[in-house]
Amino acid sequence: MRYKKFGNTDMNVSVITVGTWAIGGQRWGDVDEKNSIAAIHAMLDNGVNFIDTAPVYGYGYSEEVVGKAIKGRDRGKFYISNKFGLTWPDGPGTPVIRNASYENAMREVDVSLKLLGTDYMDLYIVHWPDVREMDTKAPASETMRALEDLKKAGKIRYIGVSNYSQEQIEEISQYGVVDAMQPPYSMVNRSAEDLMKWAHNRGIANMTYGSLGAGILTGTIRSIPDWPENDIRLTFYDFYKEPKFSKVMELLKTLDSIAQAHNRPVSQVSLNWSTQTPFVNTALVGVRNAAEANENCAAFDWELSADEYKRITKAIDETLGK
């Protein structure tokens, strides 16, 4: 496994992080708890030392699975990243609203710690900016005050934001230090690249999600899948719709060539490209079973040459642009 310093923090993190959105099970196809726990164990056993989760991933189910997976493990050997700010006041399965208020942060953190079976989280992230009506929206000052108070209480160590713009990060940074951000980033989605470079230059760590493009960059999907219309891979991402799908298939020809030269799967080419990008500190990777975990971690037994990295980047520019 390879490791990178996590921005200005004292954390030295594996270049991939266990992503647990899919194991929450909500609109991600079939998910098996036993396999999910085995996948997390395999990632940790292969040297991955970072796990990311969120309450909204299965309405607490993902946190519960992570809690079972880490039970009995040395808590000092790995880091946990969690989030707050998305709530479902009318119960699981009902509309999710954004709420980054002080009161909600204090409520969510205790629920999450209990489900995870730990007394602290290394990184606590505002999942989305609060965009409610002005009379109910939590101002950035209130959100940061909650996070700073949680640090003082020893319940969290560092502060992060997800899906924030540069302007929103600058605003909340007036009231405290943002240590990390979590943007979408992969070969098929470089929309946050300029923001990531800006953050990196300021010591704000980048932990990217969607690193394998919801599976499209594994090379195992070569035709548009027949998934239910509400599958999250269809509703949240645009990779599985035309005209982008055909463009990604064209990009895969370059990845296939490099994968064959190394006798490795396409997924490992994709992971190496992301993690060899200088301004990526760690890339979230979702896994459903131990076999997937082992294959993903084996990506770091080798690396792309400088010429291969440039060749892939050129192919991305030519097929997808930024």
Q: How many other CB atoms are there within 10 angstroms of residue 230's CB atom? A: 9
Question: Residue 287 contacts by C-beta under 8 Å, 6 or more apart in sequence?
Answer: 18, 19, 39, 40, 42, 43, 293, 296
Q: Which two tokens stand for residue 150?
A: 């949680």
Question: Residue 269 contacts by C-beta under 8 Å, 6 or more apart in sequence?
Answer: 255, 258, 259, 262, 304, 312
Which member of 57, 61, 124, 158 is catalytic? 57
Q: Which of 119, 112, 194, 123 is nearest to 162 (CA)?
A: 123
Distance CA 162, CA 83 (A): 9
Q: Would you say 257 and 304 are in contact if contact means Cβ atoms under 8 Å apart?
A: no
Known catalytic residue: 57?
yes
- Give bridge partners of residue 189 from the DSSP assignment: 186
Residues carrying an active site annotation:
57
